[in-house]
C-alpha cells in the first residue's frame, strides 16, 4: 500500500471519529437533557434547563456531611444577585449506599439544608455522562457556552471536603465569561 493510500485512510478515519469524540465531551446542552428527564426531589419542581447561562451541578447524598456544608455555600450563591443568571441543580446519587434505604434521612437533610435550587434524582446513566462520578460531593460548573470550566471532586481523607463559596464564586465568574 502506498503512502498516499495510507494517508487517505488515516485522514478518513480521523474525520470519521472526530464527531464521535465531540459527542462524548461534557457539553451542558447534551447533559441537561438527562437531568430534565429525572424525577424532581423534595419540594423542587421539575428541572428545566436554561441555555446560555452559567450552570452549577452538584452530586450529593443525604448521608454525606460535606454535602450539608456545600449546600450552605450553594444557597449563598443562589441568593447572590451577581449570579442571578446562574442555574444550580443538585443531583442525588448513592442515596442507598450500602443497601440502606431511609426516606426520613432525606427529609431531614432537606429540612436542615433548605436548598434554594432544583434537585433531581440521579441514575447510573447520569453519573456516567458526567464523567463517571464516583465520589460525593462532586461539583461541575459550566460556562455560558455549555463547556465545563471547573470541577471539584471530594477525595477520600483529603483536608478539603467540599467546594466552598470562594471556589464557587471564582468558578462562576469564569463561567460568566465563557
pLDDT band at 9 (very low <50, low <70, confident <90, very high): very low
Q: Determine the Cα–Cα distance for residues 56 and 84; give it in Å rounded to an integer.
A: 12
Q: Is the pTM of this model over 0.85?
A: no
Count other Cβ atoms within 10 Å, centred on residue 28. Answer: 26
**Exposed/middle/buried for residue 92 (C-beta within 10 Å: 0-12, 13-18, 19+):** buried
pLDDT digits (tens, 9 = 90+) for 47-96: 888 889 999 999 999 999 999 999 999 999 999 999 999 999 999 999 98
* Cβ-contact 56, 131 below 8 angstroms: no
Compute φ and ψ for 153, nearest 5 degrees.
Answer: -125, 125
In the chain, % of residues over pLDDT 90: 69
Residue 67 CA from chain centroid, whole number: 13
Residue that wins the pLDDT comparison between 3 and 120: 120
Mean pLDDT of 85-113: 91
Task: Look at 127 and 3; give whichever has higher pLDDT.
Answer: 127
Does residue 151 surpass a pLDDT of 90? yes
**Burial class, 67, CB count within 10 angstroms (exposed 0-12 / middle 13-18 / buried 19+):** buried
pLDDT band at 26 (very low <50, low <70, confident <90, very high): low
Amino acid at each position: 500500500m502506498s503512502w498516499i493510500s495510507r494517508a487517505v485512510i488515516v485522514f478518513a478515519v480521523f474525520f470519521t471519529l472526530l464527531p464521535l469524540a465531540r459527542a462524548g465531551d461534557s457539553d451542558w446542552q447534551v447533559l441537561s437533557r438527562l437531568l430534565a428527564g429525572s424525577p424532581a426531589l423534595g419540594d423542587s419542581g421539575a428541572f428545566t434547563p436554561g441555555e446560555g447561562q452559567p450552570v452549577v451541578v452538584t452530586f450529593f447524598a443525604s448521608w454525606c456531611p460535606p454535602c450539608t456544608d456545600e449546600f450552605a455555600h450553594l444557597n449563598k450563591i443562589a441568593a447572590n444577585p451577581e449570579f442571578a443568571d446562574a442555574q444550580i441543580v443538585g443531583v442525588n446519587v448513592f442515596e442507598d449506599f450500602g443497601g440502606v434505604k431511609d426516606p426520613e434521612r432525606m427529609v431531614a437533610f432537606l429540612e436542615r439544608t433548605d436548598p434554594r435550587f432544583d434537585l433531581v434524582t440521579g441514575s447510573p446513566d447520569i453519573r456516567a455522562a458526567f464523567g463517571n462520578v464516583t465520589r460525593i460531593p462532586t461539583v461541575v460548573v459550566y460556562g455560558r457556552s455549555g463547556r465545563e470550566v471547573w470541577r471539584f471532586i471530594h477525595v477520600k481523607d483529603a483536608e478539603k471536603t467540599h467546594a466552598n463559596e470562594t471556589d464557587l464564586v471564582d468558578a462562576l465568574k469564569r463561567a460568566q465569561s465563557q
